[in-house]
Structure 1
Amino acid sequence: MKIVHGRAERVPSEQRGTVTGEAWFDPILPATDGTTITTVFFAPGARTYWHSHENGQILQVLAGRGLICTDGEQPRTIAAGDVVWVPPGERHWHGAAPDSFLTHTAISLGATHWAEEVAGDD
């Protein structure tokens, strides 16, 4: 059993090197048995770099409106109340819409494989 009391100090995105724009990461459950749970607040227009997850990812959108994009597809809108399942190995990015903030809880299963920054037209 592992108990995580309260919240760890938020980590601004510039310290992580995995997000374009401003975002704050609030670790809920640090890496435990291959699972990480983090609530992320994205400022308008902020988004992750391209990445994939060894065993998939669940995103629970808590507030605001954002975008998520699978490599080779057009970005899709996500909003408060939505839950997204990203299958294992699927290359994707997610973040806030240009005119809205986004807060989601990310449940990442297995290792996360980070890639390059998303180009402006992706």
Structure 2
Amino acid sequence: MNIETRLDKSVIFPIGEKFDSTNFIGTVRLNMLTSSDTKCPIANVTFEPGCRNNWHKHPGGQVLLVTGGRGWYQEEGKEAYELKAGDVIEIPPYVKHWHGASKNSWFSHISIEVDSSKGAAEWLEPVLDEEYNKLI
């Protein structure tokens, strides 16, 4: 059974298509649940094991609703912490952060852009392998 079949059977929303972006290390899948031009875009984002996004910040803030797997979240200047299904992360406007899967588990969350009318996410530098590989 391939990863797509396993994920499709274990997540609430379809995992979507592979999303090619230089803002991610590894394979990520994106399924927009609302129109991307709405004031509050909502997407199901699924990270394959080892995948994470670059550091970034949202002018309007972001909310993450973790729906499956195991992942990590970190704000600049703070320690990374583990995420699991049922966790809710409220990210204030302009807080520099990253999130993604653990090395050995897929990870899925609903991403809610709180007020996209304030502007698009500002994508920054990648999370260094040396830092990511320290996480268990």
TMscore range, shorter length:
0.7 to 0.9
Find the counterpart in structure 2 of residue 113 from structure 1: 122
Match of 2:76 among 71, 85, 101: 71
| RMSD of aligned alpha carbons | 2.0
Say whether residues 1:27 and 2:32 are aligned partners. Answer: yes
- Greater Cα shift, 56-65 or 105-114: 105-114
> Does residue 42 of structure 1 match 2:47?
yes
What secondary structure is seen at the aligned counterpart in 2 of 1:30?
coil
Q: 7, 10, 20: which one pairs with 2:16?
A: 10
- Give the TM-score normalised by structure 2: 0.77
Q: How many residues align?
A: 115
Give, in whole Å, the separation in 2 of the partners of 1:28 and 1:96. Answer: 21
Task: Quote the offset at 1:11 in angstroms.
Answer: 3.9
1:26 Cα shift? 0.7
Matches of 1:34 and 1:73, distance apart in 2 = 30
Query: Structure 2: how far apart are the matches of 1:51 and 1:36?
Result: 17
In 2, distance between residues paired with 1:78 and 1:22? 19
Q: How far off is 1:69 after superposition?
A: 0.6
1:36 is displaced (CA, Å) by: 1.4
Unpaired runs of 5+ residues, structure 1, are: 1-6
Q: CA deviation at 1:50?
A: 0.7
The Cα of 1:24 is off from its aligned counterpart by 0.3
Which SS does the other structure have where 1:121 is aligned? helix
Identity of aligned residues (%): 32
Choose which of 72, 88, 96 in structure 2 pairs with 1:91: 96
> Structure 2 counterpart of 1:62, which letter?
T
Residue of structure 1 equivalent to 2:3: none
User: Match for residue 66 of structure 2?
Assistant: 61
Instruction: Show CA shifts across 1:36-75 (max 9, x none).
Output: 1110111111001111011110000001110001112221
- The alpha-carbon distance between structure 1 residues 11 and 17, as it changes in their structure 2 partners (threshold 3 A), is farther
